[in-house]
Amino acid sequence: MTQSVSTVPLIELGRRAKVAGHVLAATPGAAKDSALNLAADLFEERTGALLGANEIDMARAESAGLTPAQLDRLRLTEGRVRAMAGGMRDVAVIPDVVGEVVEGYVRPNGLRVERVRVPLGVVGVIYENRPNVTADAAGLCLKSGNATMLRGSSSAIDSNRAIVSCLREALSKVGLPADAVTLVENTTHEDAIAFMQLDQVIDCLVPRGGHSLVTSVREHATVPCVIDGDGNCHIYVDATADLDMALAIVVNAKTQRPGVCNAAETLLVHREVAEAFLSLARSALEGVELLGDERARDLMPGIGAATDEDFATEFLDMKLAVAVVDDLDAAMGHIARYSSGHSEAIVTGDLVNAERFCREVDSAAVLVNASTRFVDGAELGLGAEIGISTQKLHARGPMGLRALTSVKYVVRGDGHVRT
């Protein structure tokens, strides 16, 4: 049932996934949910086996000299296995999006037109050494009616095999094709490129990982992609901002979890409130390295100078670039120049400025008087998240199950012909 697939060529794995995807597309929600719940049970029942497989990966990774951060991402613990299982059950209870009628109307000639939500087919996921991505991504793809081809890193191969084995067994037990979840075990760089170019098979490729993975996908992929890009997020404190509110938002956005994409990286302050606000901010942000433009340095003597490159950098760290600006236009100009198009917030009491900021800032999410940290699938109520898109086509911002679907026209007539 859960055979090894390592000797099967990629294209053959792909063909099997394609067939499995067709079956899943026509599978009612209840069967998909049963498979998700059963996989959760298997993760918990086999915690020992999962941790054992992970130990092999960890030992190999330690002797290969991975960094402590990399080792941490690779590590499975009982708690992390429980979280993986919980994640599957959480996805199972989200309402099914497949079959949703997005739009429906009757044409003047009586033709009945519907646009119906359908799965994409086969979703490829390419990621790094976090084994929990294996379960999370497969769960979201299964829920949205897609077959998944999972291409993790070689460092996590034993963990991934053990996780995928549970998933495939769960699928088989509820009568669904095990090939709906396929682990790609060939993990050289050339194999990764072949995977990114599997045009006949992969309907959508989702990279989950850091900057170098995304860059490689941008360079090599020929299949359609949805890219979870960088988050160089800005907060602009306007002249009319409630400074206490602004302070709470800046501290939250910078320090609550600095290593994630929706953390703030640059603070822009209107010159009229710069002196008052930066003096508050400097003490509230103790432990954060501040880098300022000339005017910010004048108001916070002793901090480092922010270079052009600093303003363009997603620090993912306790580090914040600061600039003083003349007005809203200067703030939006700065954002247009340096932002990666993820999330930007304004703190203001001025209605016109709030509306202009929302309309004119060209990012996946714009926020008024709220922390950028809310730009996240769970916080925005999507139920689950496969990533946060900074591209404009197909999906933008936090991507839930609907980002893993397409829409099909269904047209019904009574012998209609065109004249």
List residues binding a second copy (CB under 8 A).
22, 25-26, 105, 107, 111, 113, 116, 118, 120-121, 203-204, 218, 222, 224, 226, 242, 245, 248-249, 251-253, 256, 336, 354, 358-360, 362-371, 373-375, 379-381, 391-394, 396-398, 406-418
Residue (58 or 147) nearer to a second copy, CB = 147
Minimum CB distance to a second copy, residue 164 (Å): 25
Which letter does DSSP use for residue 374 in this model?
A: G
Least distance from a second copy to the Cβ atom of residue 45, Å:
34
Residue 211 or 416 having the CB closest to a second copy = 416
Q: What would the two tokens of residue 172 be? A: 């088989």
Closest to a second copy by CB, 289 or 360: 360
User: Which residues on adjacent β-strands are paired with residue 104?
Assistant: 114
Complex with a second copy: residue 50 or 97, whichever CB lies closer:
97
3 state SS of 351:
helix
For the CB of residue 118, give the shortest distance to a second copy in the complex, in Å. Answer: 8
Three-state secondary structure call for residue 147 = strand
- Taking the complex as a whole, the smallest distance from the CB of residue 107 to a second copy amounts, in Å, to 6
Nearer to a second copy, 107 or 211 (CB): 107
Max CA distance (Å), the chain? 79
Residue 235 contacts by C-beta under 8 Å, 6 or more apart in sequence? 246, 249, 250, 253, 264, 266, 267, 268, 344, 345, 346, 347, 372
Question: 236: part of which helix (H) or strand (E)?
Answer: strand 233-237
Would you give the distance in Å from CA 290 to the centre of its chain? Answer: 28
126, 197 Cβ separation under 8 angstroms: no
DSSP 205: E
The residue assigned the tokens 């998700």 is 36
* Residue 366 CB-half CA count within 13 A: 16
Cβ of residue 306: shortest distance to a second copy, in angstroms?
23
Which residue, 71 or 284, is less far from a second copy as judged by CB?
A: 284
- Report, in Å, the least distance between residue 4 CB and a second copy: 29
Of the pair 137, 162, the CB lying nearest a second copy is at 137
Q: What six digits make up the tokens of 324?
A: 């003083």
Cβ 26 to a second copy shortest distance, Å: 6
DSSP states along 147-167: EEEEE--GGGHHHHHHHHHHH
Nearest 5°: the CA angle 95, 229, 278 is: 105
